[in-house]
Structure 1
Amino acid sequence: MSKIAKVLIVGAGSMGLAVGYHLAASGTDVTFLVRPHRVQGLSRPQVLYSYDNDTLRTFDRFNVIDAPALIAKETYDYAVITLDGAALRDPSGIVMVEEMGRASREKGTGIILGAIGMRLRDWFIETAGIRADSIVNSSLGIQCYSPADVTLPLHAPTNPDLHRQADLAYRHRWPFGIVVEDSAPAVAEGFAALYSANEASKCVIHPSTEFSVRLPTYFPMMAALELMDWPKAHDIDPSAAEWILGTDAAREIQGLKVNGDLGQQVRGETTPEALAEQWRVWEQDMLPLDLQEFNRYHHGGKVNRQDRQLLADCVRLGEAEGNPMNALKKLLASLQHV
């Protein structure tokens, strides 16, 4: 009989529940590490609403611990870090990182870093005191949120009665549920195989260079949309000053030396018109989930501190390379007045 894999998920918010549900469907033993006040809410099965087929699913195969010190009592094959990049670097986040470092060093736990930030993996390696071949960056490909936290407009064929029962509502439109990059190949391949054993969602592996170039492009555009008060994608005017500023900032990030030749290639392909069209396609693909209202809630509020910190980190990185990052600095300054 094969050994059942054990995965620790740090945080039981939207990303944590989405990843945990699909890992459990793959036959994985899932444990959530949460703050004490979250334990009661996880004492019952979690109800998930799928925008994909207007159905409810029940997630009830998971364990819960409420203190980083408890990590050492078990041996986990992988740990998925779902805190955002800002929360991860808060004092309580650092305590968790140090405990995860101990688990990785002593028990071989592979780290799947879901927090987003420039060179955040390097920071995690140094803070946790772990080897570079034990951790990979990741990004969720599922749009998800708690209906208890925000009321989004509902579009047909969404059933309001089903939707209101859910602890988590999600849209799984992309061909993958989660992506990991290949900077630690054994960790990436092992986790991808484990996650992908379920029938509904897959984990794909992208080259680390592609991951670092393409993902940050979204963040200056989210900032531009915040300045524009989150218009529907089909109403985005590519000639709007805010959109052009966001595009220029995205090109500055893509052109960072750390992004190499691929960054320069993508930079040459990035135009206001191309990005606006990309957003229009994305918005249409996400229906019946209201993409822009989701982005308003998620990037305009929930992870806004992470997003702005990423942009500020890009400024510092660019200046260290001798690039003034004028567009990105102007974009960040404009956000101070929102």
Structure 2
Amino acid sequence: MNIYLPSAVSLPIPDDPAVVDPKLLNQADQACTAKLGGYRVDDRSPAVQRAFAELWDKTGLKCQPINAMQLVAEVLPLFAMFLALEILGWPSFGELASTTASTKSKEISKLTVDAGKEIARLGMHGEIGKKVAEFMTEEGWVGALFGAEQACRPCDLVAFCRYHHGDKVLEQNMDILRECLKVVQGEGKGMEAFTNLIPRVEEARRT
């Protein structure tokens, strides 16, 4: 879930008052949606986690507690996914999941999953990271994206991801991945797929 000032968002808004009341949107201080589940808070500080959950649950959207290491092991590989989508020009997730997906899409999908596994297996993620990597597949990746895209309708999830991860925080995403590379160098591990993604993004942004 992400929250922005409405004036800062330039996403397609459904022209249907039953879906989005334009008057309320213009009057709002913040706009949010949580169609992909509740807010997840890690357990590094159990007291803070419980206090936040108590407040957040009053919104009607459940706060989901999660192990801190598991959260990081699950989230960091997503940044490889955002790089892949940038390379492909942010296609619809349905297009990626299609049996007629382009050769380039299939190639990048495989590279992305391999990179995600490399990130998950970093030593700092321990055994949890290894287990996360075991469940990563190309079919699972594109299937999850397509499912999320459908769940978010009528909101355009691809447009949001492109706005947020392809523009607003792209450089921050790259910084996070560069930090991962430093960890790799410290552990003496190879990350062939992951290191191949970064120059592909830079090339895509130049064209």
TM, length-normalised to structure 1: 0.53
Q: Residue 221 in 1 paired to residue 81 in 2?
A: yes
User: What's the secondary structure of 1:179's corresponding residue?
Assistant: strand
Mapped contact 2:111–2:197 kept (Cα < 8 A)? yes
Please state whether the residue corresponding to 2:196 is helix, strand or coil.
helix
- Structure 1 Cα separation of the partners of residues 167 and 30 of structure 2: 18
Q: Considering fraction of residues, name the structure with more helix.
A: 2
Q: How far apart are the structure 1 equivalents of 2:143 and 2:24? A: 30
Q: Which has the larger radius of gyration?
A: 1
CA distances 1:121-144 after superposition (whole Å, capped 9, x unpaired): xxxxxxxxxxxxxxxxxxxxx244
Which residue of structure 1 aligns with residue 174 of structure 2?
308
Matched residue, 1:154? 13
Give the AA of the match of 1:227.
I
Deviation at 1:282, TM superposition (A): 0.7
**1:162–1:241: structure 2 CA closer, same or farther, 3 Å change rule?**
farther
Is 1:336 the equivalent of 2:202? yes
Q: Which has the higher contact order (CA 8 A, sep 6+)?
A: 2
Choose from 152, 157, 169 the match for 2:31: 169
Q: 3-state DSSP class of the match of 1:336?
A: helix
Q: Secondary structure at the match of 2:134?
A: helix
> CA 1:172–1:160 in structure 2 vs 1: closer, same or farther (change >3 Å)?
same
Alignment of 1:72-111 (within 5 A): none
What is the alpha-carbon distance in structure 2 between the residues aligned to residue 162 and residue 249 of structure 1? 44
Q: Deviations over 1:71-125 (max 9, x none)?
A: xxxxxxxxxxxxxxxxxxxxxxxxxxxxxxxxxxxxxxxxxxxxxxxxxxxxxxx
Structure 2 residue identity aligned to 1:215: V
Q: Which of 50, 66, 74 is the equivalent residue of 1:206? A: 66
Letter in 2 for 1:219: F
Checking the alignment, whether the CA contact within 8 Å between 1:155 and 1:290 is kept in structure 2 is no
RMSD: 2.1
**Unaligned residue ranges in structure 1 (runs of 5+):** 1-141
Determine whether 1:266 maps to 2:128. Answer: no
1:231 corresponds to 2:84: no
In the alignment, is the contact (CA less than 8 A) between 2:36 and 2:148 conserved in 1? no
Distance in structure 2 (CA, Å) of the matches to 1:288 and 1:167: 22
| 189 and 167 in structure 1: CA distance in 2 versus 1, 3 angstrom threshold | closer
Q: Is the 8 Å Cα contact of residues 154 and 160 (structure 1) preserved in structure 2?
A: no
Report the residue type matching 1:185 in the other structure: P
Contact kept? 1:179, 1:206, Cα under 8 Å: yes
2:149 corresponds in structure 1 to 283
What is the 5 A alignment of 1:316-327? 316-327=182-193
Residue 250 of structure 1 is matched in structure 2 by 116
* Alignment partners' CA distance in 1, 2:37 and 2:159: 22
What is the deviation of 1:159? 4.1
Structure 1 residues 288 and 258, CA gap change in structure 2 (3 angstroms) = same
**Shift in alpha-carbon separation, 1:185–1:314, aligned structure 2, 3 A:** same
Match of 2:50 among 186, 189, 194: 189
Deviations 1:255-277, CA, capped at 9 Å, x for gaps? 11111122112212111111000
Q: What's the CA shift for 1:161?
A: 3.3
Q: 1:240 aligns with which of 83, 87, 106?
A: 106
Match for 1:148: what amino acid?
A: S
How many pairs align?
Answer: 195
Could you state the TM-score of these two structures normalised by the residue count of structure 2?
A: 0.84
Q: Is the 8 A contact 2:25 2:31 kept in 1?
A: no
AA at the equivalent of 1:174 = L
1:39-54 pair list within 5 angstroms: none
